[in-house]
Each structure stands twice: as structure tokens, then as C-alpha cells.
Amino acid sequence: MISKDKTYRTRDGREVRIYAVDGDDWFPIHGAYKEKNGWYTCAWSKDGFYLDSTTEHRCDLIEVKPRHQRTLWMNMYLDYPDMRGHVSEAAADQAARDDRIACIKIDLDFEEGEGL
């Protein structure tokens, strides 16, 4: 369900503003999408479809989920797949076994819910 409390873009990536979610039965979502020369008003179905279409359209609403960044350090071993990430290099050093061959830094950048 489309909400004024969430952030959206059009299917083709344009910025969207949602003004109301309680319009008429056919197109209850009212807002605007941004073009190079300004904002254009639009209305969408309750599910965010442009013109109540059942096929994908470039103006359909797509929720923009928050992005998160994390840095992890992982100990590498020649014959052991240790898949635990550590929050700091010092924590990885403390958990390391004597046969560690590397400690790699991994920078993650992911969208909330990605891969679920």
C-alpha cells in the first residue's frame, strides 16, 4: 500500500512527491513526478500503478528503501571457510587462529531488505 510516510520514485527513476493517499476510488494516490523543467502532477492507483495499468509503466511508483553502509573484517584461512564478519580489525585479530593467511576489509552498501 502506498503511504505518505515512505519515499518513492517512478519506475524509470524520477523523483516523486506524494500529496494524498485518500483520493477517489480509481486513482486515490495524488502527487507529482519531477522532470528536467519542473514538477508534473499525477494520480496513481492504490497500488501505485500509473493509469491503473496491469502492465509495467515508466510512471509506476517504486518504493525507495533506505541504504545502509557497513564495514566488516574477515579472517581468511587456506583450507577453512570462516565466514564470520568482525566489526573491527582488532576484533578480527583477536578471533584469528594461528593459520590465518589474510584479514580483509569489506565495505558493504546495501538497500534495506535486499536479498530477503
Tally Cβ neighbours within 10 Å of residue 75: 21
Residue 109, classified by CB atoms within 10 Å of its CB into exposed (0-12), middle (13-18) or buried (19+), is: exposed
Per-residue pLDDT for the chain (116 aa), expressed as one digit of tens each? 899 999 999 999 999 999 999 998 889 999 999 999 999 999 999 999 997 667 899 999 999 999 999 999 999 999 988 889 999 999 999 999 999 999 999 999 999 999 99
The residue count of the chain comes to 116
pLDDT at 39: 98
**Structure confidence at residue 81 (pLDDT):** 80
Q: What is the pTM of this model?
A: 0.66
Cβ-proximal residues to 92 (8 Å cutoff; 6+ apart), any chain: 73, 74, 75, 86, 103
Report pLDDT for 20.
96
